[in-house]
Structure 1
Amino acid sequence: MEFFHKTFYGNTVLEWSLAAAGIILSFIVAKMVYWLISRFVKKLTKRTANRFDDILVDMMEEPVVFVLIITGIWYSLHTLTLSAAMEAVLSKAYYVLIIVAVAWLITRLSDAIIETYLVPYVRKTEGKLDDQLLPIIRKGIKLSVWAIAIIVALDNAGYDVKAVLASLGIGGLALALAAKDTVANLFGSFTIFVDKPFVVGDRIKVKGYDGFVREVGIRSTRLQTLDGRTVTIPNQFVANESIVNVSSEPSRKITMDIGLTYDTAPEKMEEAMAILREIAASHPDTEETIVTAFTEFKDSSLNIRFIYYIRKGASVFGTQNAVNMEILKRFNEKGLEFAFPTQTVYHKPL
C-alpha cells in the first residue's frame, strides 16, 4: 500500500491509477453506447416510416461516442491535482474538441440529408443547372460550418478572433493578388451558372474546340471533343469567349448545291427538284420545311439549291447518308446526270 501513496508530479500513484481507470472506463462506456445504438436504437428507427430519424441516429453515432470519450478523459484528469496553467489548457482543449464534434455532426447530418432528399429530387428534374450547383452547395455548407467552428474554437482557446480575422484579411488580399487567375476563374464559373449559356451534356463550340460539356467546376470547364479527347478550359476564358451552343438549335439545317449537266432540259430540272422535295418529305427525321430552287448557271453545271432540316435529336450523319443515297438512286433511274468540271478545247488549223 505504501507504493500507491507515493507522490509523482503532485499526485499519488493511486490517484494516477484512478485517473487512468477513468479514462479506460470512458472508452468502455463509449464502446457500449456504440453497441447499443447499433444493436437496438437503429432497429427501432427502422420500424418508423420517417427516414429522418434513421439519418439522425446514424450520423450522431460516431460524434456522440467521440464526445463521451473526451468527456471521460477530461473528467478523469480533473480528479488529479494539476497546476492552474494545466487546468486552463485542459479546459480549452476540451471545449475545442466539443466544438469540433458539433461541427463534425452538423456536416455529417447536412451531407446525409442532401444525399437522401435533394440528390434524388435533382436527378428527377429536367434541368441540369441544379446538378451543377448541388456539389458546390454541399462543399459550401461544409466550408461554412468548419469556418465558424474554427472561429468559435479560437475564441474559446483565448485567441483574439478580431486580430486573427484582420490578419487573415490582409493575407487573403495578398493571396488574391497572387492568385488573380484563380479568382478570375471563380468569377467566370459564377457567370456561367448565372447566364447559363450551356449545361452539362450540351455540345458547344468555344475557343476553337467542338465537343460535349462533361463538367462545369469552380475553376474550369471540361469538354469531350468529337474525337473523344478531354479538353480543360479555364472558366475565365469560357466566360469571355463567344460560345456556340450547338445543342440549342431547334433543327440542323442542311444546304446542298446539286449540279446537273448543261444538256438537261427545263422539264428535267423541274423533275429533279420534285424528286428532291419528295425525298426530303418522305424521310421520318426531316421537317416539313424544304427549299428547292434553280439558282445558278455555273461554268460546268446548272445548279439546284436544296435545303432541308433534320429534327432535333435525330442522327445527322445517318439522315444525310439516307437522303444522299436516295438522291443518287432516283437521279440515276431518271437519267439525270450530275455535272463535273469540264473544258471544251477548240483547235483552229493554221
Structure 2
Amino acid sequence: MSRPALRKQLAFPLLASAVFGLALYLLHTISGAPLAKFMTNPDGALEWTMRFVSIAFWLGVAFAAVRALNELVFLVFRKRKGYDAPSLMRDIFSLVLYVTSVAVILKQHFETLSFGALLSGSALLGIILGLALQDTLGNLFSGISLHADKPFQVGDVLTVGKWTGVVMSITWRAVKIKTFSNHIVLVSNSSIAK
C-alpha cells in the first residue's frame, strides 16, 4: 500500500483518538468545577461519561495500531514472498487483532467483566450460527484450504464446470474468474474444492 493510502487508512482512527483524548482531558480538568456537581448523581453520570470517552480514545488508538501493524506485516510478507498475501489471511489477522484489542480495552475499564462467562454464553450462539451458516462456513474452510494448498494462483487459467477463464482473485468466499468472453464469474470455494 502506498504512503498516501496508508495515511488515509490511519487518518480517521487517529483523528477520533485525538478528539476523544481532548474530551477526556477536558472532562478530567473540569471534574472539580460546577460541571461535576451538575453531572454527579446517584448513577455517576460523570464517571460513566469519562469511562465511555476513555474507551473510545483507546479504541481509536488500537484501531490505528492494528491497521498500521497489518500494513507493516503484509509489506514484509510481500517483500519476502514476491506477491500479496491472500485477502483471507489479511482478514483473519486483522480480526484476531481487533478482537484482542477490544477485549483488553474492555477488561481494563470493567474489572468485573468475566470473559469466561461471556465465552461460555456465546458457545450456544456459536452452535446456532454454525448451523445457520453451513454454506458460508463451507466456503470459508474451502477458501482456507485453497489458500494453504495453492492449487492455482491469480492469473492462472481455470476451468470450473462450464466456465473457463483467468483467475482474477481468490477470497474467503469465492474465486473470481474472468472468462474469455469477458464475463466475470464468481465461483464458490466449496464448488471448486469438490
Q: TM-score, normalised by structure 1?
A: 0.45
1:166 deviation in Å? 2.1
Runs of 4+ in 1 over 4 A off after TM superposition: 58-61
Map 1:76-225 → 2, pairs under 5 A: 76-79=29-32, 80-81=36-37, 82-83=40-41, 85-86=43-44, 87-114=46-73, 117-118=75-76, 121=79, 125=82, 130-133=83-86, 135-155=87-107, 156-157=109-110, 158-225=112-179
- What letter matches 1:141 in structure 2? F
Instruction: Decide which structure has greater strand share.
Output: 1
Alignment identity in percent?
Answer: 20
Q: State the Cα RMSD in Å.
A: 2.9
Deviations 1:203-250 (A, max 9, x none): 12222321111111100111111211111111011011xxxxxxxxxx
Higher relative contact order (CA 8 A, sep 6+): 2
Instruction: Decide which structure has greater helix share.
Output: 2
Where does residue 28 of structure 2 map in the other structure? 75
1:178 deviation in Å? 0.5
Q: 1:221 to 1:120 in 2, by over 3 A?
A: closer
1:191 deviation in Å? 1.3
Corresponding residue SS for 2:57: helix
Q: Residues 24 and 50 of structure 2 are in contact (CA less than 8 Å); yes or no, is this contact kept in structure 1?
A: no
CA distance in 1, matches of 2:71, 2:146: 28
Corresponding residue SS for 2:84: helix
Map 1:284-295 → 2, pairs under 5 A: none
Q: Residues 168 and 178 of structure 2 are in contact (CA less than 8 Å); yes or no, is this contact kept in structure 1?
A: yes
- Structure 1 unmatched runs, 5+: 1-50, 241-350
Deviations 1:50-90 (A, max 9, x none): x9xxx8xx879536623531322321452223235324413
Q: 1:153 to 1:140 in 2, by over 3 A?
A: same
Structure whose CA Rg is larger: 1
Corresponding residue SS for 1:231: strand
Q: 1:137 to 1:189 in 2, by over 3 A?
A: closer
- Structure 2 unmatched runs, 5+: none
Q: 1:61 to 1:70 in 2, by over 3 A?
A: same
CA distance in 2, matches of 1:90, 1:64: 16
Q: TM-score, normalised by structure 2?
A: 0.75
1:181 deviation in Å? 0.4
Q: Residues 74 and 94 of structure 1 are in contact (CA less than 8 Å); yes or no, is this contact kept in structure 2?
A: no
1:179 deviation in Å? 0.6
